[in-house]
Structure 1
Amino acid sequence: MASPTDTLRAKTNTELQFFVDNPGFYHADLVEAAQRELRRRDVAPAAALPPPAPYSPAEAEPAPTPATRRWPLLAGLLVLGAAGTGWLWHTRTPVTTPANRPGQLSPDSLRLESVRAHPLPSFDTDAIVAAQLVRVPTSEKQEAQALRQFRELGRRFWSAETQTEFLTNQAHAGQVSPMFAEQALLVRENWRAWNKAVVYSYRFGPTMQGQFERMAQAASSQQHILANMPGLLPGRKFLTDKEMLARDAEVQDWLAGLRKTSPVTGRPYRVTVLHFQ
C-alpha cells in the first residue's frame, strides 16, 4: 500500500500548492506535508490565500456588482480551480477506517475529483437599459440627473431580473442545478441592492415614472417567487401553485411594458388579456 509520502510525491507542484492554499479543507498534517514536499523540490510554497473579508453593504453602494463577483461564497463553490475549463477540483470526504483515523493520512483522502460547474451567466445590463430608454421621449431624457438615476435603477433591476429569469427558466425546463437554492440566495442579494435604491424619491417624467413603477411591481413578485421556488421544486409543485402562477403572469405583463422580448430567452413576454362577458 502506498504511503502518504509516496502519494504526495506523485502530485504535481500545482496540486501540492492547492493543499497549501486551502488549509481549511484538509488536516493540518497534510498541509505541512505538502509544504515539506514543495521545499524538498526546491519550490518555495506560496503563502496560503487569506480568508475572504466579510461583506459590508456600505461597500456595495451606489452600484451593485454581479453576484458571481461580489460574493466569496459563490466563488468558493463555483470556480475553485476551474481555470476557465468549466470543471472544479474538490476533495472526497474520507471514510474513517483503521488506516484513516484522525491524525493519520490515507492516499484516498488525497484523491481529487472533477465535477461539472453551474455558474450563473452575466448579462449586458447597460445594453438592456439603453434599449428600454428608447421608449422614453427625448424631452424626458434632457434632465441629466433624472436620466442618470433612471439608468442606475435600470442596471440594478436588470442585474437581478435576468438572473432570476435564468434560474426560474431552468426550473420550468426541468434542468435545475444542484446549486439552485444557493444561487437563489445570491440573486436575492442583487434584489436587495434594488430595494435600497427605491426607498428614495425621484422626479421622473411620466414615461420614466411608469417604467419605474412597472420595475418595482415586477421586482416585488420576482423576489417572492425566488424565495419560494426552492421549496416547491420537489415534485415540480411550483407548476400548480396558484400564487406562483398568478405572480408569474403578473411579472410577464409588467415586463412586457418595458421591452417586448426577454433578454434571457429571446422569447416575447406574455401580455395578460382580460375578457369581459
Structure 2
Amino acid sequence: MSTGSDSFTEKTDDALCFLASHPALYHPDIVRAAQQELRRRGLTLPEIAQGATPASLLEYAPEPERSNSARGLLLSGALVAVVLLGAWALQSTDADAADPTLSTERPISLPASVVEQPATNDDMMPNFESLAQERVREAATTVPAAEWRDSIARNNYQQMVARYWTAEYQTAWLLTRTSQRPTPDPTLLGKINLIQEQWGRLTHAAEYDLKLRPVMQQRLEAMLLGHKRRNAVLGLLTYGFNGGDSLITREIQQGDTAAYAVRYQVLATRLPKQLPLLPLRSSPDVVRSQTVPTRYPNTNPLYLLHNRPLASDPLSDGLPAPVAELSSTEIDSVLVLRPRVATQAYGPRAHDGAVLIFTHAPHP
C-alpha cells in the first residue's frame, strides 16, 4: 500500500499525532509513515490510544488450525522480521539525527489572508472515542430486540454507529472551536482532512452488504444523510479559510443546524423545541504580523515591498525572490489584506489577497 511520503510532509503535527496514535483506524503502513515523519521532525511519538484494536467490518470464520511444523516456520519468520525491522528503525533514526540538512521545523502552508498563529492545547481535536462508545451502548435500546439478536447485523451496525458518532462529534467540535477562536486556526485544513477520512470510513463501509435488519438500515440511511449535511458544511468552511470573507457564514450556521437535527433521527427521538445555532464570526479584513505568511497552494497573492508590487510565479508556491531573501530582522511589519479589501485597493490582480511588507531600512 502506497502511503505517499510527500503527503505526510505536508500534514500538521496534530494530524500526524492522530494517525500515529490510532492504529485501529488506519492501515499499518499509514501509521508507520506518520510515526517516521514525527521522528524526522524531532517530535516525541504519541502514546497508542488505550483499547485500540484493529476494527473489522464483517464477521469471518476462524482460520483452520495449522500444523506444529507450519506454526514453527511462521514463528521463526516473525522473529526474523522483528529483528530486521528493529535494525531498520535504528538505522533510520540515526540517519535522520546525523543529517544536518533535515529541518525539524513544522512546514505550515497558509493562505495569503491568514497569518500564522501558534497552536494551543485547545486546538487539539479530541478523538471522542468514549462518547462514541456510549452511543453504541445506547443503540441497543433503539433497535427492536428481534433485530438485535442477529449477531452479524448487530456487530456491523455497532461499528457503523461508532464511526458516525466519532465523525459527528469531531465535526461539531471543529465548528464550535472555529466560532470561538479570536484568530483563524492555521491547522484547520489538516483537521478537516482527518474528519473527512473518518466520514469516509462510514460511507465506504456502507457500500457493502452489511446484512442489516430493516430498522438498522433505516438508521444507517439517517447517518449517511448526516454525512451529506456535514460534508457540505466542511466544504463551505474550507472555502472560507482559503479566502472567503468569513469562516462561520450564515450558510455554515444553517448547515450545522440541519446536520444537528439528523442526530435525532439516528437516536430515534423527537426533535427538541430549539436547536443550537453557531455564532456568526467574520475574520478581520486586515491582519498585522511580524512575519510573511507562507503561500497556500494554488493561490497567487499580490506582494508589495514598500508599496512596490512584486510578481510571483503562479505555478509554484514560493515567495517572490526579493521577499524570500529578507531576514526576519529586516522586517518591520507585515499587513495581510483579505481579497475583498485587496481588490478594492489594487484591483483584480489582488484577487487572492495582498501582502504589504515594510522593512526597517528603505528597500531599493
- Normalised by the shorter chain, which TM-score bucket? 0.5 to 0.7
Structure 1 residue 80 and structure 2 residue 43: aligned?
Answer: yes
**1:121 alignment partner in structure 2:** 126
Q: CA RMSD in A?
A: 4.2
Structure 1 residue 168 and structure 2 residue 129: aligned?
Answer: no
Q: 1: distance between equivalents of 2:145 and 2:196?
A: 34
| 1:155 aligned residue (136, 158, 162) | 162
Preserved contact between residue 255 and residue 269 of structure 1 (Cα < 8 Å): no
Superposition map of 1:162-241 within 5 A: 162-174=169-181, 176-233=184-241, 235-241=245-251
Change (3 A) 1:188 1:168: same
Shift of 1:257: 2.1
Preserved contact between residue 152 and residue 211 of structure 2 (Cα < 8 Å): no
Q: Secondary structure at the match of 1:163?
A: helix
Deviations 1:121-163 (A, max 9, x none): 1212222211233211212101111001101111222222221
Count of aligned positions? 180
Bigger RCO of structures 1 and 2 (CA < 8 A, at least 6 apart): 2
**2:79 alignment partner in structure 1:** none
Q: Secondary structure at the match of 2:246?
A: helix
**1:145 alignment partner in structure 2:** 152
Q: 2: distance between equivalents of 1:65 and 1:269?
A: 38
Q: Secondary structure at the match of 1:155?
A: helix
Q: 2: distance between equivalents of 1:201 and 1:180?
A: 35
Preserved contact between residue 225 and residue 247 of structure 1 (Cα < 8 Å): yes
**2:142 alignment partner in structure 1:** 135
Q: 2: distance between equivalents of 1:80 and 1:145?
A: 42
Q: 1: distance between equivalents of 2:154 and 2:140?
A: 9
Q: 2: distance between equivalents of 1:268 and 1:180?
A: 32
What TM-score comes out, normalization by structure 2 length?
Answer: 0.41
Superposition map of 1:21-40 within 5 A: none
Q: Secondary structure at the match of 2:266?
A: coil
Q: 2: distance between equivalents of 1:222 and 1:183?
A: 14
Preserved contact between residue 260 and residue 268 of structure 1 (Cα < 8 Å): no
Shift of 1:174: 3.4
Taking only the aligned residue pairs, the percentage that are identical comes to 17
Q: 1: distance between equivalents of 2:236 and 2:36?
A: 21
Shift of 1:213: 1.0
What TM-score comes out, normalization by structure 1 length?
Answer: 0.52
Structure 1 residue 64 and structure 2 residue 17: aligned?
Answer: no
Shift of 1:190: 1.3
* Worse overlay, 149-158 or 166-175: 166-175
Change (3 A) 1:268 1:158: farther
Preserved contact between residue 126 and residue 155 of structure 1 (Cα < 8 Å): yes
Change (3 A) 1:223 1:130: same
Q: Secondary structure at the match of 2:171?
A: helix
Residue ranges of structure 2 left out of the alignment (5+ in a row): 1-8, 10-15, 48-103, 108-117, 277-364
Going by fraction, where is helix more abundant, 1 or 2? 1
Preserved contact between residue 211 and residue 257 of structure 1 (Cα < 8 Å): yes
Q: Secondary structure at the match of 2:160?
A: helix
Change (3 A) 1:64 1:156: farther
